[in-house]
Structure 1
């Protein structure tokens, strides 16, 4: 047994992991739970609450109470100091956070570990922004008669919905700016990967985050997510995920004209010009789509290659792909981890079949590896 395997066995043992509302760790009001399984082997990691609309109501109420209560008394310098403490707490537990991410959604451990500087840097950047927020005095057409100025104030309660493909970074992108500006948060992680987000909330609590400032409701998007997007007590909704879900969230947000920020999926081409250094371009082009098993919104899912180098480039990308090491995310030699779920794997298989029907040539792979579940 490797060190990572031993640590994994201690981190998640199949038991119940509660969500947090108003600083209290709790089950869903319905009592229902969801299973969190390791996508690499299907093993049960834990069970988590299957939250619904009633839990969203409680979380929004807790966030509102914190926003209008103790959190409102925090000065920008105090928010900055808190975010820096959170970053220090994360840094101290970074390997545990990374292991959780790897177990929960399959990203190879070497990749999660490598993200530390970026994520911790983001947190510290947001801490700096807490004391850099300012208004403006604006010249106008009636000097001496009219005084024009702007004042920036916290939006209020922010609802955040994140996908499963990068729980650590996805959480910090949503939570960090909200806390820096004095807002409170209700966050709904993906039902496919909730465990790391709960661990993040625990570490933030340990760093001194007041009760109710961050509330986590685990559950399905069709229940908890929809309730959060439509909730009249939420002042802003932020979402990362599919275009179709983003459209539904934008429609739901119109009820109280809440502010909306959407980061939606797309198809991003990698462009390779005729004078490119092929030795350098091949691994970059390949890993732009194969990183995180292709499960990432910035994946370079298409290649635009100059005709003069097309054939050689395609051949070399195929050779590079064929040499990538597939395996369990906690094995340090793994370069490509598992697909998040059987449903996602079936979707990928459907794209492969569609490509074959349309005349595409399979250069390497084209089917699930032998022994894959």
Structure 2
């Protein structure tokens, strides 16, 4: 697959069959209303298929199927080893269908198919395998008590877990929520982003093929204002996991209060800082990763390192390196392995990015990119863009653009850099570049972020939690800690004769 040509990927894409109906109770079904919406390839503007437009009635059907399965115990009370075997099979099926899963995400939202095939789809398989292998290794507790008392503390599944996931990593975000929720024994109802539902629908089908019982994994594609809201307000959903914008995350918190006080786990916006100090000896590595941190996935990453704070004495040298890297990362056809960046997810997002860029041209020094382009005369593409000498109060440095736009901001002291980095409503991720061990620890301790990467950017793994602070939300994906949010602590206290 690594040596596939554009022709190979294009030929494979032309043979794909898209799952376009909702997946409820183990079956593909039309929306109750019969409505559909166009699923558009942002690289070409072509309609891939019409997808079922689910609303409140369909969410009710999915939640009822999930509750029925949960109460029947066919998954929730299955032996840990049995659940493990099924999820391991699902991981294998994702690997067996790797090309298809990669193409679905690439066609759906414009990401490079090579990234989807080497990062996203293998990552999804890995995370299902990792949680599968954890199922029979998580122990309950016995609390310390006096003679004649036995207090057992167990983690039990919540019941029906709803998830609303974003369009930037469609397969991975469905996996991050679903793998942990299923490992804990819950039933799952997923509302994927309307821009990118195809891989989620195929994942549900593969889950059923792997042995996930009917009703345990459901997918209701549709719009946030209908299907998403219905899931958030549903009285029989026990937990709602959300990744997306801060504004929508706040709405789901409100929906919880308006309904059944379901637990809500938001992982929301970001404006992640990257601090590069003059004692960083490998400026080329710093430049490589700074470019990766903002231009990977077209900058459509919640933890994208979009604020670059550079010590003034090395700023000009670093900016020159970044300009060269930006010029070498021009967008192209997402199915072409030679392309360095793909398409922006849709016209609306593209126009939003360009509004920031056009305003930024009036207030900062544009040194790279700054234009919307087409590929073969079509599509939603934005050049990798760099603004130099951005003031800290500029919207370029304050607002989440969610595109390939980097703001370079100089600093003169460590204290100033930390102060500016923390001066944000967000606290998702941060990066630090220094060869001074004390500074690395000191600055990492001082930064207010869920993950601080030192001499790299955006580090994550199945073993470490991913999530933020402040208005980046308090939800955590990945690691064993994420299982905590899909379970409840239940105490059983037994008195016995001594």
TM bracket (short chain) = over 0.9
Deviations 1:120-178 (A, max 9, x none): 221111002211232211225xx226543311111100000000000111111011011
Q: 1:261 aligns with which of 245, 261, 265?
A: 265
Quick one: distance in 1 between partners of 2:139 and 2:165?
29
Quick one: distance in 1 between partners of 2:326 and 2:109?
21
Residue number in structure 2 paired with 1:201:
204
Q: 2:373 aligns with which of 345, 364, 369?
A: 369
Contact 1:60/1:186, CA 8 A, preserved across alignment: yes
Residue number in structure 2 paired with 1:251:
254
Confirm whether residue 331 of structure 1 aligns to residue 324 of structure 2: no
Q: What is the TM-score of this pair, normalised by structure 2? A: 0.72
Quick one: distance in 2 between partners of 1:262 and 1:153?
21
Residue number in structure 1 paired with 2:319:
314
Quick one: distance in 2 between partners of 1:178 and 1:338?
31
Quick one: distance in 2 between partners of 1:22 and 1:307?
59
Confirm whether residue 128 of structure 1 aligns to residue 133 of structure 2: yes
Confirm whether residue 85 of structure 1 aligns to residue 101 of structure 2: no
Residue number in structure 2 paired with 1:25:
28
Quick one: distance in 1 between partners of 2:152 and 2:211?
35
Matches within 5 A, 1:92-241: 92-115=96-119, 116-140=121-145, 143-144=146-147, 146-241=149-244
Q: What is the TM-score of this pair, normalised by structure 1? A: 0.95
1:8 CA drift (Å) = 0.7
Contact 2:19/2:198, CA 8 A, preserved across alignment: no
Contact 2:34/2:52, CA 8 A, preserved across alignment: yes
- 2:75 partner SS: helix
Unpaired stretches in structure 2, ≥5 consecutive residues: 1-5, 380-498
Quick one: distance in 2 between partners of 1:96 and 1:33?
23
Quick one: distance in 2 between partners of 1:90 and 1:52?
29
Residue number in structure 2 paired with 1:286:
291
1:323 CA drift (Å) = 1.4
1:117 CA drift (Å) = 4.1
- 1:363 partner SS: strand
Quick one: distance in 2 between partners of 1:46 and 1:160?
23
- 2:241 partner SS: strand
Residue number in structure 2 paired with 1:341:
346
Q: 1:6 aligns with which of 11, 18, 28?
A: 11
Deviations 1:72-121 (A, max 9, x none): 34111100000000011111111110011111111101111111443322
More helix by share: 1
1:330 CA drift (Å) = 0.7
1:309 CA drift (Å) = 0.3
Residue number in structure 1 paired with 2:310:
305
Quick one: distance in 1 between partners of 2:166 and 2:132?
24
- 1:271 partner SS: strand
- 1:227 partner SS: helix
Contact 1:133/1:152, CA 8 A, preserved across alignment: no
How many residues get paired?
368
Confirm whether residue 59 of structure 1 aligns to residue 72 of structure 2: no
Quick one: distance in 1 between partners of 2:15 and 2:244?
31
Deviations 1:162-216 (A, max 9, x none): 0000011111101101111110001000000001111111111111211100010
The alpha-carbon distance between structure 1 residues 16 and 287, as it changes in their structure 2 partners (threshold 3 A), is closer
1:34 CA drift (Å) = 0.7
Contact 1:80/1:127, CA 8 A, preserved across alignment: yes
Contact 1:315/1:363, CA 8 A, preserved across alignment: no
Deviations 1:328-361 (A, max 9, x none): 111111110000011001100111122223x201
Quick one: distance in 2 between partners of 1:298 and 1:284?
14
